[in-house]
C-alpha cells in the first residue's frame, strides 16, 4: 500500500510511530511521513532543525519525511501549548497539499496523542487524495484536557467536544489503543467506525555505541532501583513518587530513578533538594539505544498516572516497553494499565496517587527473591509477544486499512 503517516510527533522524538513506520517499510509498503519540527519533550527545537520553514529529509536513509513549521512547546503553559497545537494545524493545511502534490495514497494514518487537532490537515488531504483516513486515538479529548487541568471551563470543554465530533465524522476508521476507549469515543462517533488497535513496540531496539554513564551504572548496579522512564509531565502523578521517596528514605538500598525530561523536571529537582531526597535520582534523558541497558539493570520498572477517569482508560505505551524488557513492573494507576500488568502476571499494581500502597509495593517487590522477580519479567515478556508484538500488529493495521471503504461523499 501507499501510506501517508501524519503526526505532529516523529523521529528523532521518541514515539512508537517511529517503529510503525520502520516496520511498514520493511514489510514492503511505500510510506511517507508528514510531521512538524522535533521539540518534544523539552520544548526546544532539536539541533539541526529550525522552527520556521519546511524541510525534507530521509528516515533510515530511505523513508521520505516532510516537516512543516511549528511553534515550539517551550516550557509549557497554556499560551505555548495552544500556539504549538495551532501552528501545526495551520502549517499542515497551508504546506502539505503543495509538498505532497502529485503524490497518491491508498490510506492516511494519523498518530494522535494530544492534540487531536493534528488530524485536521489529514482531513483536507483525505479529500484531495481521495484516500482512506484512519485516526489512531491515543488520548481522549476533551477528557484528557480536563484531566491534566489544561482546560477546566465546562463551556470550553463542550466546544472541544463539538470539534472532536466533527473530526471523528470525517474519519473512515477510529483506531483506539485501549478497549476502555470504545465507549468514550462512541459518544462522539458511530460505533461501527471504532476498532481496537493497541500500541505495539519493536523489540529490536536500535544499537549504538552509547553506554550508560558510570555514575548511573553504579547506582543501578549497587542499589535496588525502581526505574521510571519517559515524560516527566503533569499527568504522571510525580507528587506521589516524591512522597513515596520520602517514606522510603529509611531503606538505604532503595533508589527511585526517574529517567527522562519534561515540563516538571525543574520541580522534581527543587523537591529533591528541598526534601534532601538522596534516594530520588534524576539522571536526565538518554537516547533510545541506551534504554535497554538501563532496563536490564533496573530491579523493577515504574509506571504512574494521575487519578483521573480519562487516564484509567489509557494504556501508556511505556507499559508495552516495560513488558518487552522482561523486568517486573510496579504500576501506580487505575484501570486498563493496571489491569494489563496484573493480567500479564508482570508485577504489582496500586491505585493512582496513593502513596502508601505504592510504597508498600516497592518494599514487597524488594522482598521478593531474584527468581520471583525474574518470573514476573518473563511472564510480562510472554504477554507482550502474544498481544503487542510489532510485526503482527502492523500486518493487522494494513488489513484494517485495506478493508475500509473511503468516505468521499454521500455517506
What is the spatial distance between Cα 239 and Cα 258, in angstroms, rounded to a whole number? Answer: 13
- In whole angstroms, what is the distance from residue 225 CA to residue 254 CA? 6
Are 394 and 24 in contact by the 8 Å Cβ rule? The answer is yes
Q: Is the dihedral of CA 322, 186, 134, 159 positive or negative?
A: negative
Query: 3-class SS at 363?
Result: helix
Joined grid coordinates for residue 340 = 494489563
What residue segments make up the domains of the chain, in order of their start? 2-200+389-403, 214-387
The grid coordinates of residue 50 equal: 529550525
Q: What is the CATH number of domain 214-387?
A: 3.40.50.2000
Q: For residue 203, what is the DSSP state?
A: S
Q: Could you tell me how many residues make up the chain? A: 411
* Fold that domain 2-200+389-403 belongs to in CATH: Rossmann fold (3.40.50)
* Residues β-bridged to residue 66: 34, 56
Q: Three-state SS for 228? A: strand
2-200+389-403 and 214-387, same CATH topology: yes
pTM here? 0.78
- List Cβ neighbours of 52 (8 Å cut-off, separation of 6 or more): 69
Computed from CA positions of residues 353, 356, 357, 360, in that sequence, does the dihedral angle turn out positive or negative? Answer: positive
Q: What does each of the 411 residues of the chain score in pLDDT, given as a tens digit? A: 999 999 999 999 989 999 999 999 999 999 999 999 999 988 899 999 999 999 999 999 999 999 999 999 887 677 888 899 999 999 999 999 999 999 999 999 999 998 999 999 999 999 999 999 999 999 888 887 777 767 777 888 889 889 999 999 999 999 999 999 999 999 999 999 999 999 988 876 555 557 889 999 999 999 999 999 999 998 999 999 999 999 999 999 999 999 999 889 999 999 999 999 999 999 999 988 888 999 999 999 999 999 998 899 889 889 999 999 999 999 999 999 999 999 999 999 999 999 999 999 999 999 999 999 999 999 999 999 999 999 999 999 999 999 876 554 433
- String of DSSP letters for 272-338: HHHTT-TTEEEEE---GGGHHHHHHH-SEEEEE--S-HHHHT---HHHHHHHHHT--EEEE--THHH
Amino acid at each position: 500500500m501507499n501510506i501517508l503517516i501524519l503526526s505532529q510527533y516523529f523521529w528523532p522524538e521518541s514515539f512508537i510511530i517511529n517503529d510503525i513506520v520502520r516496520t511498514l517499510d520493511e514489510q514492503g509498503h511505500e510510506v511517507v511521513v508528514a510531521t512538524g519540527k522535533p521539540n518534544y519533550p523539552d520544548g526546544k527545537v532539536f539541533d539541526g532543525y529550525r522552527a520556521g520553514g519546511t524541510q525534507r529529509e530521509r528516515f533510515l536513509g530511505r523513508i521520505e519525511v516532510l516537516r512543516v513549521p511549528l511553534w515550539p512547546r517551550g516550557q509549557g503553559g497554556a499560551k505555548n501549548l495552544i500556539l504549538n497545537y495551532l501552528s501545526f494545524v495551520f502549517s499542515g493545511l497551508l504546506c502539505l497539499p503543495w509538498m505532497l502534490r502529485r503524490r497518491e495514497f491508498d490510506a492516511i494514518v494519523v498518530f494522535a496523542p494530544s492534540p487531536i487537532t493534528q488530524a485536521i490537515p489529514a482531513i483536507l488531504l483525505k479529500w484531495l487524495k481521495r484516500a482512506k483516513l484512519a485516526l489512531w486515538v491515543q488520548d481522549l479529548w476533551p477528557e484528557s484536557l480536563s484531566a491534566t487541568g489544561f482546560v477546566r471551563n465546562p463551556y470550553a470543554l463542550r466546544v472541544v467536544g463539538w470539534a472532536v465530533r466533527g473530526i471523528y465524522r470525517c474519519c473512515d476508521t477510529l483506531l483506539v489503543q485501549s478497549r476502555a476507549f470504545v465507549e468514550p469515543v462512541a459518544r462522539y462517533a458511530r460505533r461501527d467506525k471504532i476498532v481496537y488497535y493497541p500500541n505495539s513496540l519493536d523489540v529490536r531496539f536500535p544499537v549504538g555505541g552509547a553506554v550508560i554513564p558510570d555514575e548511573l551504572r553504579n547506582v543501578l548496579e549497587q542499589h535496588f532501583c525502581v526505574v521510571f522512564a519517559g515524560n516527566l509531565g503533569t499527568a504522571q502523578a510525580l507528587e506521589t513518587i516524591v512522597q513515596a521517596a520520602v517514606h522510603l528514605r529509611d531503606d538505604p538500598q532503595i533508589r527511585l530513578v526517574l529517567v527522562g525530561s519534561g515540563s516538571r523536571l525543574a520541580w522534581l529537582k527543587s523537591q529533591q533538594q528541598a526534601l534532601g531526597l538522596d534516594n530520588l535520582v534524576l539522571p536526565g534523558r538518554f537516547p533510545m539505544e541506551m534504554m535497554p541497558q538501563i532496563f536490564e539493570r533496573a530491579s523493577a520498572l515504574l509506571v504512574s498516572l494521575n487519578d483521573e477517569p480519562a487516564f484509567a482508560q489509557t494504556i501508556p505505551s511505556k507499559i508495552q516497553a516495560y513488558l518487552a524488557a522482561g523486568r517486573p513492573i510496579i504500576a501506580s494507576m487505575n484501570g486498563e494499565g493496571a489491569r494489563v500488568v496484573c493480567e500479564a502476571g508482570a508485577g504489582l499494581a496500586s491505585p493512582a496517587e496513593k502513596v502508601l500502597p505504592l510504597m508498600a509495593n516497592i518494599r514487597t517487590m524488594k522482598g521478593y527473591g531474584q527468581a520471583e522477580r525474574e518470573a514476573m519479567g518473563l511472564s510480562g515478556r510472554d504477554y507482550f509477544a502474544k498481544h503487542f508484538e510489532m510485526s503482527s500488529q502492523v500486518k493487522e493495521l494494513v488489513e484494517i486499512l485495506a478493508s475500509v471503504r473511503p468516505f468521499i461523499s454521500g455517506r
